[in-house]
Structure 1
Amino acid sequence: MAYDLYPQIDMKGGIDLYTGYDEIWKKVDDAIKQRKANVITIECYPGTLEKELEQLINQLKPDLIIHADEIFLSSEEITVKIQDHLTDDRVFGVMSNHALADFIDGEKFNKTLDKINKAKDKRIVIYGVGASLVAPSDLLLYTNLARWEIQLRYRAKKVCNWRANNWEEETLRKVKRAYYFDWRIADKLKKSLFDKVDFMLDVNEENQPKMIAGHDYQMALSQVVQRPFRLVPYFDSGVWGGKWMQEKFNVAKDKINLAWCFDCVPEENSIYLGINGEKFEIPANDIVYQRPVSLLGEKVYGRYGTSFPIRFDYLDTMGGDNLSLQVHPKVEYAQETFGLHYTQDESYYILEAEDDAVIYLGVKNGVEKQSLVDALKSSQEEGKRFPDEDFIYRKKIKKHDHYSIPAGTIHCSGKNSVVLEISSTPNRFTFKLWDWERVDLDGKPRPIHLEHGEKNIDISRDEDWVEKEVSNQVVKVAEGDGWTEEKTGLHIREPIETRRHWFSSEVMHETQDSVNVLTLVEGEEIIVTSVNASFEPFVIHYGETFIVPECVKQYKIAPHGPSVGRTVGTIKAFIR
């Protein structure tokens, strides 16, 4: 079997699924009558197509309809209030520490309460982002959707940011506002509501809503976190993108190329719950928020809170071009400048490489920082070609090489390779230093951030350091009958440990007191099994990434199907 583009986790326990607004209305109406509910609240995650909800609201025949926007400050007032977090930059802002309640207009709120009090004992529907803050609810519905879907809606100009009225603004700025503000305040409210939600709605597909009861949702989360599982991957094109994933994974062949596959980024990926033959889609982050100890483990939760600290994604330049020359912020810079708790340390695991494939990593011996920065500034300001061959260390790469890239290290994946990027989770903090004299797919130059990059380049990361510290630091740590375990990194500055297993027979794994993330990097198929029958056997295909919750503790992996009798390979990441 091939790479599964639509993995789902089949639910047990008789969960009832309601599809379409007619079915949903009937169930909600029954609940209203049973509870004798007067105030029905539909809390919406930013990005919900709220116009759709009128189909449900009208069927409920309310005596009064309140939109949550009625209690909040104006768009202009909110933008002014959060300007220090938004900044004027196209890409970077500062993490907001606000709550939705901070933006309530007292006078508007009191007028809305008066309307609600006058309609006492009548049927009232309150909906929109922040609806649960308007008045106490007798029945609470929540519209849920994944961040990747929200970003697609930004591109299509189907939604704008919360209270922003920025329909025509470029997608980069919309995503920035969501990342630093909308999603922060929405998730803060969502966390406070999880155990109060009566019905959870999946509104990822337009006009195709699905709904389950809140208690069934909680039961589903508990089932997910007791077993290995995959997230729903999403793919995107880019100016440097290649063709390998399109062919290997049989996906998006109508697109110009595929640059990225985000296969394990819970902040943005979703999960398909299999319920009665249907897929119920939820944001993967809900698992992190609601079951952090079971998923991450006590140690990792204690260090990272409800933030999933490991990210796996693909960078495909096969038949494409180089990535931008870039650097990620050192941890103190990330904390002080952007309000991050930790930074984007990463590594490149080479999944495929042509004979001419290279990685740009660190600087050449003897390079002085000022000379490097002057040359980069000249290329940006005067349109000159940056002479990378004079400054940047370039190294040939081959399949199954592994390179650590601690924050502060200049790096870039070259053309004609496929990289499995294993990194810490903050995923929007790439300072582009040079972009090879090109424009993006939209015809605009991609943002260059030399002012940030200059402050984070560690000039001591030269070719001698690269060869000694971060190039293929492979050490055999264990072996047995038909298997070998190797430590492949990462650098001492990075919190992630990576282990590679080569095996032709069954291998026992320990979670090491941390959530585990793995990818099958060699071979067609493996099977993951429980040591105590606590979860059903789980089949993984080449290139698929999967998560093993810490609470699983031990699990076994063996070649399966066409790979039986052959040597296969996995790469595993966990927090040290």
Structure 2
Amino acid sequence: MTTAPVQKSSYDRYPTVPLPAGESVITGAAAWHRVRDLAYERAEDRPPLIVVDTYPGVDLPELTRQLAEAWPTAVIIDVEQEAAKPIEEIDARIADNLTDDRVFGVMSHLRLNAFYDQERLAALAERLADRTAATVLIGWGAALTATRPDALVLVDLARWEIQQRQRAGAPNWRSANGAEDNLRKYKRGFFVEWRVADRHKRDLFAKIDFLLDGNAIGHSSGVVRGPGMITGDAFRGALAAAVNAPLRVVPFFDPGVWGGHWMQDKLGLDTETPNYAWCFDCVPEENSLLLSDGDHAVEIPALDLVLTQPRGLLGAKTYARFGAEFPIRFDFLDTVGGGNLSLQVHPLTDYITDTFGMHYTQDESYYLLDADEDAVVYLGLKSGIDPDAMIADLRAAQQADHPFDTEKYVNAFPARKHDHFSIPAGTVHCSGANSMVLEISATPFIFTFKLWDWGRVGLDGVPRPVHVDHGAANIQWDRDTEWVTEHLLQGPEELSRDGDVIEERTGLHELEFIEVRRHWFENHADHDTDGTVNVLNLVEGDEVEVISPTGAFAPLRIHYAETFIIPAAVGPYRIRRTENSQSTRFATVKAYVRGTTRTDQEGPALAAGNKGVRS
């Protein structure tokens, strides 16, 4: 199939993280031969046992076929077929987590052994102990039975790839729901399967002998390569080194009913796609990392870095506060030539914890990378409105002949390039058409209560879900025109000026835990992680590089609109123009968790200074 030519762009869609020196990606049958050789070496005079544990969503039939082709004399046993509980029993166990809602469930705290029959696992273990030939135990949960194999392989898979497969008709784990609504399939993954799977693989990370790229087995997520394997030492070594240098995750782009065309034009995306609505440019729970030897790469979930190196990545204070979760999210919302986002509100912390089992909420902000002259941001309620009348009109709007009069109830503020709108949870909001938003927010992105969706249906032709009841329980009715103007629309606060470097505080609101600083410079600006993770985006200028003042890491080149992560362990770093830069002025926005650095004490108190910004 041919695709339309794309615009030239410096934006790097496939950034890589280097493997340790001397390590390489093993491809094709040679990968399984390497596993076989290690297993025979360890087994000595008995038939070897190899465990291949997989993430749910891995194409198990294709994986089995490739393994059998590379090692035809091995006995391959599917642990899922042998010992998993009937899906009806699993469904009953997780029914309360899934709820009847199309989108929202409750976070599961189960472990994988809850999905397996313990007697059948024990019987399988006895069979394995009496094996008379080289045996491979394969499937999600294989390591539950064989706790001391001669070789242990983990086949990992990124969540975004799972979503692509589900949209193409793939079911959830062991479910016959391939034709089910994609939102319900995603819900089952988000609230149950991925939670269980991440706990399980986290127990395996220190033990695995090899990691196999499950993204390239049966379906490719866009990177041109064959299935690759690396050693467990290469996997652990790459991630240990990654927290001592700046890095980028692999972004992904997705169309939507309100999507626009700015990213197609500026970032060089396929122009035949009708639009692009989202880009997740730094959401490690969804994004990938490409571990590369220079010629080949394996794709792993970026979450693996969070799970294996939380202290070095996040910093001691941020890790103590959030655990092994990456709390800051950068993504793009493109409505240039598109439509308004849904009118929405995010849950308060008490509500999200009590209702969904999530321990922090989606406070957020809109930073305008670009905007047309007619761009607006809907933010807060108009003063003097009747809450009961608004809720009644929102309910009536669910009928096609009763559109909601947004302008009657919600403020619409002009939006200009480099404006920054703070949106604490409980504030009604949405980005209007003809805006290019860099969304800087807390990570739990699924918890959006749509109030009004402008009468649209999704790309699948099904009406998009609206949650007026959830929304009504969280709307903060005192956030009216005066409150928003006073608390969310004040100008940037200049903190320092040193030569051509200007540092500004642009937010967020004091109710939110993320601090954002903007740095303008002509040549370079110096930074320090000060013990907590920094997330940045180059919002002005064509190209810079991140360097170490002491040469502690190799320079990382950054192009316009690219998001990059500076792990807490990095410490001091400098962002400077490159020899190829054509711009005369540059700007970055930097986000970090408040209360984790000594710089939080600089400047006026938070109550006076941390307000939204209009440039």
Q: Which bin holds the TM-score, normalised by the shorter protein? A: over 0.9
1:335-414 → structure 2 map (5 Å cutoff) = 335-381=353-399, 383-414=401-432
Q: Show CA shifts across 1:242-288 (max 9, x none).
A: 01101111112221100001100000100112214112211101110
Q: Show CA shifts across 1:356-385 (max 9, x none).
A: 100000000112321211111111146401
Amino acid at match of 1:143: V
User: Where does residue 8 of structure 1 map in the other structure?
Assistant: 16
TM-score where L is the length of structure 1? 0.97
**Equivalent-residue separation in structure 1 for 2:304 and 2:483 (angstroms):** 41
Q: Show CA shifts across 1:412-455 (max 9, x none).
A: 10000100000000010000000001111111110001111110
Residue 563 of structure 1 deviates from its aligned partner by 3.4
Amino acid at match of 2:351: Y
Residue 565 of structure 1 deviates from its aligned partner by 6.6
Is residue 2:443 matched to residue 1:425?
yes
Residue 145 of structure 1 deviates from its aligned partner by 1.5
Which residue, 19, 25, 33 being the options, matches 2:27? 19
Is residue 2:29 matched to residue 1:33?
no
User: Where does residue 175 of structure 1 map in the other structure?
Assistant: 186
SS of the equivalent of 1:65 reads strand
**Equivalent-residue separation in structure 2 for 1:219 and 1:291 (angstroms):** 11
SS of the equivalent of 1:204 reads helix
User: Where does residue 103 of structure 2 map in the other structure?
Assistant: 91
SS of the equivalent of 1:253 reads coil
SS of the equivalent of 1:82 reads helix
Is residue 2:505 matched to residue 1:487?
yes
1:42-441 → structure 2 map (5 Å cutoff) = 42-54=52-64, 55-60=66-71, 61-63=73-75, 65-119=77-131, 121-136=132-147, 137-157=149-169, 159-206=170-217, 208-381=226-399, 383-441=401-459
Gaps of 5+ in 1: none
Residue 58 of structure 1 deviates from its aligned partner by 5.0
Q: Show CA shifts across 1:98-132 (max 9, x none).
A: 0011122234334423433442x532211111111
Amino acid at match of 1:449: H
Q: Identity over aligned residues, as a percent?
A: 47
Residue 486 of structure 1 deviates from its aligned partner by 0.2
> Aligned residue pairs: how many?
573
Amino acid at match of 1:165: A
Q: Show CA shifts across 1:443-500 (max 9, x none).
A: 1110001111110000111111111111244100011011100000000010000000
Of residues 400-409 and 560-569 in structure 1, the stretch that sits farther from structure 2 once superposed is 560-569
**Equivalent-residue separation in structure 2 for 1:182 and 1:40 (angstroms):** 24
Is residue 2:559 matched to residue 1:541?
yes
**Equivalent-residue separation in structure 2 for 1:114 and 1:546 (angstroms):** 50
Which residue, 539, 558, 563 being the options, matches 1:521? 539
SS of the equivalent of 1:166 reads coil
CA contact (8 A) 1:499 1:572 kept: yes
Q: Show CA shifts across 1:508-556 (max 9, x none).
A: 1121321000000011011111011011111110000000001111101
CA contact (8 A) 2:158 2:301 kept: yes
Of residues 49-58 and 484-493 in structure 1, the stretch that sits farther from structure 2 once superposed is 49-58
**Equivalent-residue separation in structure 1 for 2:408 and 2:457 (angstroms):** 24
Amino acid at match of 2:124: T
**Equivalent-residue separation in structure 1 for 2:525 and 2:130 (angstroms):** 68
Query: Aligned pair in 2 of structure 1 residues 485, 33: CA closer, same or farther (>3 Å)?
Result: same
SS of the equivalent of 2:216 reads coil
Amino acid at match of 1:359: V
**Equivalent-residue separation in structure 1 for 2:583 and 2:102 (angstroms):** 52
**Equivalent-residue separation in structure 1 for 2:583 and 2:32 (angstroms):** 54
**Equivalent-residue separation in structure 2 for 1:459 and 1:206 (angstroms):** 50
CA contact (8 A) 1:320 1:416 kept: yes
User: Where does residue 613 of structure 2 map in the other structure?
Assistant: none
SS of the equivalent of 1:195 reads coil
Query: Aligned pair in 2 of structure 1 residues 453, 116: CA closer, same or farther (>3 Å)?
Result: same
Q: Show CA shifts across 1:170-207 (max 9, x none).
A: 21111110000010000000111101101101121235
CA contact (8 A) 2:400 2:455 kept: no
Query: Aligned pair in 2 of structure 1 residues 232, 565: CA closer, same or farther (>3 Å)?
Result: closer
CA contact (8 A) 2:38 2:150 kept: no
**Equivalent-residue separation in structure 2 for 1:62 and 1:431 (angstroms):** 51
CA contact (8 A) 2:365 2:421 kept: yes
**Equivalent-residue separation in structure 2 for 1:215 and 1:442 (angstroms):** 43
Query: Aligned pair in 2 of structure 1 residues 240, 66: CA closer, same or farther (>3 Å)?
Result: closer
SS of the equivalent of 2:211 reads strand
CA contact (8 A) 1:516 1:572 kept: yes
CA contact (8 A) 2:23 2:234 kept: yes
**Equivalent-residue separation in structure 2 for 1:16 and 1:437 (angstroms):** 52
Query: Aligned pair in 2 of structure 1 residues 117, 559: CA closer, same or farther (>3 Å)?
Result: closer
SS of the equivalent of 1:456 reads coil
Residue 73 of structure 1 deviates from its aligned partner by 1.0
Amino acid at match of 1:542: Y
1:536-575 → structure 2 map (5 Å cutoff) = 536-563=554-581, 566-575=584-593
**Equivalent-residue separation in structure 2 for 1:496 and 1:443 (angstroms):** 37
**Equivalent-residue separation in structure 1 for 2:76 and 2:391 (angstroms):** 62
**Equivalent-residue separation in structure 1 for 2:249 and 2:70 (angstroms):** 35
Report the aligned-residue RMSD: 1.4
CA contact (8 A) 2:370 2:418 kept: yes
**Equivalent-residue separation in structure 2 for 1:507 and 1:63 (angstroms):** 59
Amino acid at match of 1:108: R
SS of the equivalent of 1:173 reads helix
CA contact (8 A) 2:63 2:217 kept: no
Gaps of 5+ in 2: 1-8, 219-225, 595-615
